[in-house]
Amino acid sequence: MTVDKVIEIPVSLEVPIGPQHPALHEPVMLKVYAEGEEVVKVEVNTGYNHRGIERLTEKNSFYRNIFIVSRVCGICNIVHSDVYVRAVEQVMDIEPSRRAKYLRVLAMELERIHSHMIINAIMAEILGYDTLFMYIMRDREKVMKAKEILTGNRVLGDYLMVGGVRRDLNEVDRERLKNILVKLEPEVWKYIKVFEEDETLWKRLRGVGVIKPRDVTLHGLVGPTARGSGVNIDARREGYDAYGEVPFNIIVRSDMDSWGRMMVRWHETIESISMCKYILENLPSNGPAVPDETRLPRKFPVGEAFARVEAPRGELTYYVMSDGRQNPYRVKIRTPSFNNIINSGFSYIGHTIADVPVILTSYDPCISCMERAIITDLRRGERMYLRFKDLSTRLK
C-alpha cells in the first residue's frame, strides 16, 4: 500500500477560559485554541447564567417589571429601568417633569462613572496591577456614596418610576453630591495619567485587540468599543430625557486597540462628572419629580414602543408591546454586551493567551446582560424563547 496523502494536524493547545476563571467575574466560556502562546481560534460560549428575564416580564405587570428589568444587570441597573420606563411612558402617553428628567440623567451619569471606573479597575487587576485596582476601587466608593445619596442605595437604585423618579433631591444632598464630584475629578485625572504613562499598562494594552472601523460596523459593535475605533455613535445624541439640554461631548478616539477603549471610558468619566455638576447647578424646579403613585393609570392602552439609551457599555434597546392587559405582551431587550461579546471572537486571533482576558475586559463584558436561550425548530422554521424551567423539563 502506498501513501499518497499526508494529513498534518497542527499541535494546538485547548485552553478553557471559563466558565469559572479568575479573569472572569461572571460565567462565560472562551474556548481558546493556541499554538504555543499564539491564539489561533476562540469560541465564545454563553448560557451559564440564563435567567429568563424577558419571559418573566410577560408574567408580571408593567409596574412590577421596573424592578425586574433593573435586575438584568447589577452595575447598569438604572439605565435598564430608564429605557423600560420610557418605553412604557410612550405606550401610556405620559411625560415626566423636567426636574425628573434631569434627575434621571444625573442617576444614569453617576452610574456611567462608577461603571467605567470599575472596568478600568478590573483591567488593572487583569494585568496583575492590583495596587492600581485597589486605588480605583477606593475612589469608586465615592461615586457609590453619591448614588446612595441620590437613590437611597449604593448599587440597585430602583430609582425610576413611570412619570418620574422615586426620590427628589434636597438642597443639602445637592451640596453633598457637588462636594463628592469636586473631590473625584482630580483623582480621575490622576488615573488617566497613570494609564497614559505606566509602562506595564502601555505595553499590555497598546496594539492589543485592534478593531478597525470596518469590523465595528460589520459585527455591530457599540458603545466605547465602537467609539474607541473612531466610530462616532452615541444614543445620547437623540436627546432623550434631559440629554438634549445638558451639554456634553462625545468621546471618540482613533486608537482602535484595548488602550483606546479604556481611554474612551476614562474621558467619558470626566465628561460625566461635568454633566453631573451642570445638572446639580441647573436643576429645574418646575414640576414634581416624584409623581403621585396612586394616580398612575391602572388600565393600559394597546400599543408598542421602542426606546434606546446609551448604557455605559453601549446602546441598550427595549421593545415593549402592550395588548391592553395588565402585563406586557412582549418585552424584547437587546443589550450592548450581547453584540460586543458574542461577535468578538475574531479580535483575539494572532494575539497571545495572555492577551485574551485583556481583550475581553476591554469590551466591558456584562455576561448576565447577554444570556439568551433560543430554540429553533428546523422542521417548522420557528424560533422559541425558553424559560429555565422549560429547559430543564425538556432536558429530562
Q: What is the Cα–Cα distance from 319 to 274, expressed in whole angstroms? A: 31
Q: Does 45 participate in binding other proteins (rule CB under 8 A)?
A: no
- Select from 34-42, 52-60, 158-166, 322-330 the region that touches other proteins (CB under 8 A): 34-42
Q: Residue 199 burial by CB count (10 A; 0-12/13-18/19+): exposed, middle or buried?
A: exposed
- Select from 11-19, 89-97, 159-167, 380-388 the region that touches other proteins (CB under 8 A): 11-19
- Select from 21-29, 75-83, 226-234, 250-258 the region that touches other proteins (CB under 8 A): 21-29
DSSP-H helix ranges across the chain: 53-58, 65-69, 77-92, 98-126, 130-151, 171-197, 199-205, 213-219, 224-227, 258-281, 336-342, 355-362, 388-395
Residue with cell 502506498: 2
Residues numbered 334 to 363 that lie near other proteins (CB under 8 A) are 352-357
C-alpha cell at 38: 499564539
* CB of 21 or CB of 334, closer to other proteins: 21
For residue 136, how far is the Cα from the chain centroid? 19
Task: Give the nearest distance from C-beta 294 to other proteins in angstroms.
Answer: 48
Total chain residues near other proteins (CB under 8 A): 34
Q: Does 14 participate in binding other proteins (rule CB under 8 A)?
A: yes
* CB of 199 or CB of 281, closer to other proteins: 199
Q: Does 41 participate in binding other proteins (rule CB under 8 A)?
A: no
Task: Give the nearest distance from C-beta 187 to other proteins in angstroms.
Answer: 13
C-alpha cell at 330: 412582549
Residues whose CB is less than 8 angstroms from the CB of residue 214 and which lie 6 or more positions away in sequence, other chains included: none
* CB of 278 or CB of 348, closer to other proteins: 348
Altogether, the residues listed in the chain come to a count of 396
Residues numbered 47 to 76 that lie near other proteins (CB under 8 A) are none
Q: Does 198 participate in binding other proteins (rule CB under 8 A)?
A: yes
Q: Secondary structure of 119-153 in the HEC alphabet? A: HHHHHHHHCCCHHHHHHHHHHHHHHHHHHHHHHCC
* CB of 4 or CB of 199, closer to other proteins: 199
- Give the SS3 label for residue 336: helix
109-122 per-residue burial string, b: 16 or more CB within 10 A, e: under 16 = bbbbbbbbbbbbbb
* CB of 90 or CB of 352, closer to other proteins: 352
Task: Give the nearest distance from C-beta 296 to other proteins in angstroms.
Answer: 46
C-alpha cell at 354: 495572555
- Select from 85-93, 102-110, 121-129, 310-318 the region that touches other proteins (CB under 8 A): 121-129
Residues numbered 245 to 304 that lie near other proteins (CB under 8 A) are none
Residues whose CB is less than 8 angstroms from the CB of residue 15 and which lie 6 or more positions away in sequence, other chains included: 32, 33, 34, 353
* CB of 130 or CB of 238, closer to other proteins: 130
10 Å Cβ neighbour count for 35? 12
Structural contact between residues 115 and 330, judged by C-beta atoms closer than 8 angstroms: no
- Select from 154-162, 174-182, 199-207, 384-392 the region that touches other proteins (CB under 8 A): 199-207
- Select from 52-60, 160-168, 194-202, 217-225 the region that touches other proteins (CB under 8 A): 194-202
Q: Does 211 participate in binding other proteins (rule CB under 8 A)?
A: no
* CB of 162 or CB of 201, closer to other proteins: 201
Taking CB under 8 A as the criterion, the residue among 37, 43, 148, 175 binding other proteins is: 37
Question: For residue 317, what are the β-bridge partners?
Answer: 308, 334
Q: Does 200 participate in binding other proteins (rule CB under 8 A)?
A: yes
* CB of 51 or CB of 145, closer to other proteins: 145
Residues whose CB is less than 8 angstroms from the CB of residue 44 and which lie 6 or more positions away in sequence, other chains included: 28, 29, 30, 341, 342, 344, 345
Q: Rounded to the nearest 5°, which phi and psi values hold at 11? A: -75, 115
For residue 357, how far is the Cα from the chain centroid? 18
Residues numbered 125 to 144 that lie near other proteins (CB under 8 A) are 125-132, 134-135, 138
Element (H, E) at 165: strand 164-165
* CB of 64 or CB of 190, closer to other proteins: 190
Taking CB under 8 A as the criterion, the residue among 21, 71, 277, 334 binding other proteins is: 21
Interface with other proteins (CB under 8 A): 13-16, 21-23, 34, 36-37, 124-132, 134-135, 138, 198-201, 203-204, 352-357
